[in-house]
């Protein structure tokens, strides 16, 4: 127990509004004392005489495997009857899509989700002006994330319209989109004239390239929000060529709601109204202390108590205060990508997806790419060129040599298109074997582990 109590909390050095620590304590105690799934965690809690951030730091991380093991009822506080609420329609069960290891059955409480979204809008000046709760929104993402999937044939606009929302695509793979389908999307954007365009960045970048290549006129919304997928710098560049409006990246998950929102100055701010975030820095040789993992504790969801949920992403802290003036909670320079998208240098140092992306963002003529590390010093890149392929391949090799070092063997060859992984999200980098992220964390911050496992 002494070892668990000695864990450091990054949150102790951050600024929070009055009452924030009390909300953290309420979430902590509701989980530990009122929620079935956390029964085994009580032994890790140092006790109420310790600061709440220190108490949180002493606890394990909650994983998707834990969510599956205990099911929806296990994370509902005592007195909450999930079956009865499902019958009345107060909540729904929503399965996250993706690979089997990522899939989780979640309790969906629309009112809580809406409040989390509304809180995130307050962290971006453009969103504050564009979002009044009644604004028209067009959505371009995998229909398995939001919308109605139809891989054979096409759906009329009436079937893709829901109140103030219009879902632009029923197809989940942008590499198969025809010119006619993208022309239809543009025409519908012009007719619907949304205030906000919410999009998976790779999907919108694909449409933007078509708009530019075809010299089409397209409606400009007040704001584009990028979600469902971590955007590439290439995505930002391609989207800006087609849409002359502000762009903000919105970050969260089905399980945890809205966690960070990009402000008008380009940094990401924690949505402190709806969650607490623990930051776990990586060891220095792997990019720490500025790069690390995050664990999310949710506030105010009456049907689901999530404590230190491992969202499985890595982030990079902003080095200075933000020009926008916001300073509550964590401020990020970037989302560095999923932990599953890490690669290693030949010397064994971790490389995030965002680091690769920053290196490749200056490769002229590069439209899309996907890097796979196939061996300790071997890296294969498939890429879609926007013009002659050979100069792009050379630029890729040069850029990646600067990331992985002179011992890296880098091959790059062009392909007509790159298909996303289910359910429509691209993995731009990955290793051919699993990289254990826990081993990369600073030991002073690494989550505690129960003697018999998590829960």
pLDDT in tens, the chain (455 residues): 333 447 999 999 999 999 999 999 999 999 999 999 999 999 999 999 999 999 999 999 999 999 999 999 999 999 999 999 999 999 999 987 654 456 789 999 999 999 999 999 999 999 999 998 889 999 999 998 888 999 999 999 999 999 999 999 999 999 999 999 999 999 999 999 999 999 999 999 999 999 999 999 999 999 999 999 999 999 999 999 999 999 999 999 999 999 999 999 999 999 999 999 999 999 999 999 999 999 999 999 999 999 999 999 999 999 999 999 999 999 999 999 999 999 999 999 999 999 999 999 989 999 999 999 999 999 999 999 999 999 999 999 999 999 999 999 999 999 999 999 877 789 999 999 999 999 999 999 999 877 544 44
Q: Which helix (H) or strand (E) holds 317?
A: strand 309-317
Bridge partners (DSSP) listed for residue 167: 139
203/255 Cα distance (integer angstroms): 23
Q: Which helix (H) or strand (E) holds 234?
A: helix 233-242
CB 312 within 8 A of CB 66: no
pLDDT at 122: 97
- Using the structure block, give the residue that is written with the tokens 């050979």: 390
116/134 Cα distance (integer angstroms): 16
Measured N-to-C along each axis, helices 201-214 and 179-192 cross at an angle, to the nearest 10 degrees, of: 100
pLDDT at 4: 44
Residue 229 phi, psi (nearest 5): -160, 145
- Reduce the DSSP state of residue 197 to 3 states and report it: strand
pLDDT at 97: 60
* Per-residue DSSP letter, 195: S
CA nearest to 321, candidates 394, 250, 277, 269: 269
CB 225 within 8 A of CB 195: no
pLDDT at 453: 46
306/358 Cα distance (integer angstroms): 33
Maximum Cα–Cα distance for the chain, whole Å?
Answer: 66
Query: Regarding the domain delimited by 343-434, which CATH topology (the fold level of the hierarchy) does it fall under?
Result: GMP Synthetase; Chain A, domain 3 (3.30.300)
Gyration radius from the chain CA atoms: 22
389/396 Cα distance (integer angstroms): 11
CB 304 within 8 A of CB 357: no
- Give the N- to C-terminal CA distance of the chain in Å, as an integer: 17
pLDDT at 98: 54
pTM equals 0.94
Question: How many CA atoms are closer than 13 Å to the CA of 177, on its beta-carbon side?
Answer: 30
Residue 123 phi, psi (nearest 5): -95, 10
99/147 Cα distance (integer angstroms): 19
Strand segments, DSSP code E, in 14-112 are 92-95, 105-108
191/144 Cα distance (integer angstroms): 24
CA nearest to 125, candidates 334, 324, 332, 331: 324
CB 335 within 8 A of CB 251: yes
Measured N-to-C along each axis, helices 233-242 and 201-214 cross at an angle, to the nearest 10 degrees, of: 40
């Amino acid at each position: 127990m002494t070892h668990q109590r000695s864990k450091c909390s990054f949150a102790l050095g951050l600024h929070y509004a009055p009452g924030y620590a009390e909300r953290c304590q309420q979430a902590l105690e509701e989980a530990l004392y009122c929620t079935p799934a956390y029964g085994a965690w009580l032994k890790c809690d140092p006790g109420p005489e310790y600061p709440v951030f220190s108490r949180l730091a002493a606890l394990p991380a909650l994983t998707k495997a834990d969510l599956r093991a205990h099911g929806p009822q296990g994370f509902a506080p005592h007195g909450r009857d999930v079956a009865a609420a499902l019958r009345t329609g107060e909540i729904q069960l929503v399965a996250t899509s993706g690979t089997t290891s990522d899939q989780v059955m979640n309790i969906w409480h629309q009112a809580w989700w809406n409040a989390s979204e509304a809180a995130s809008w307050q962290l971006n000046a453009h969103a504050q002006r564009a979002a009044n709760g009644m604004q028209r929104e067009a959505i371009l993402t995998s229909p398995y994330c939001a919308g109605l999937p139809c891989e054979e044939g096409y759906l009329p606009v009436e079937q893709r319209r829901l109140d103030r929302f219009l879902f632009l695509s029923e197809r989940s793979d942008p590499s198969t989109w025809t010119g006619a389908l993208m022309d239809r999307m543009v025409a519908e954007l012009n007719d619907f004239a949304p205030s906000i365009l919410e999009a998976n960045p790779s999907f919108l970048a694909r449409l933007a390239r078509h708009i530019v290549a075809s010299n089409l006129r397209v409606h400009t919304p007040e704001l584009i929000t990028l979600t469902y997928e971590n955007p590439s710098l290439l995505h930002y560049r391609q989207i800006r060529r087609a849409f002359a409006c502000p762009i903000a990246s919105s970050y969260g998950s089905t399980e945890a709601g809205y966690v960070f929102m990009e402000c008008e100055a380009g940094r990401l701010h924690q949505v402190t109204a709806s969650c607490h975030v623990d930051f776990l820095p990586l060891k220095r040789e792997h990019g720490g202390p500025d790069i690390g993992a995050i664990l999310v504790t949710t506030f105010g969801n009456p049907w689901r108590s999530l404590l230190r949920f491992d969202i499985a992403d890595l982030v990079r802290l902003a080095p200075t205060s933000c020009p926008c003036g916001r300073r509550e909670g964590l401020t990020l320079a970037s989302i560095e990508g999923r932990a599953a998208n890490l690669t290693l240098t030949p010397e064994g140092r971790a490389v995030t997806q965002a680091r690769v992306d920053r290196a490749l963002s200056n490769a002229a003529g590069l439209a899309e790419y996907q890097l796979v590390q196939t061996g300790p010093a071997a890296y294969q890149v498939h890429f879609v060129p926007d013009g002659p392929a050979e100069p792009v391949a050379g630029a890729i090799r040069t850029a990646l040599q600067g990331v992985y070092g002179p011992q890296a063997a880098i091959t790059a060859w062009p392909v007509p298109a790159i298909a996303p992984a289910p359910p429509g999200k691209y993995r731009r980098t990955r290793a051919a074997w699993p990289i254990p992220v826990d081993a990369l964390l600073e030991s002073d911050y690494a989550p505690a582990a129960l003697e018999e496992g998590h829960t």
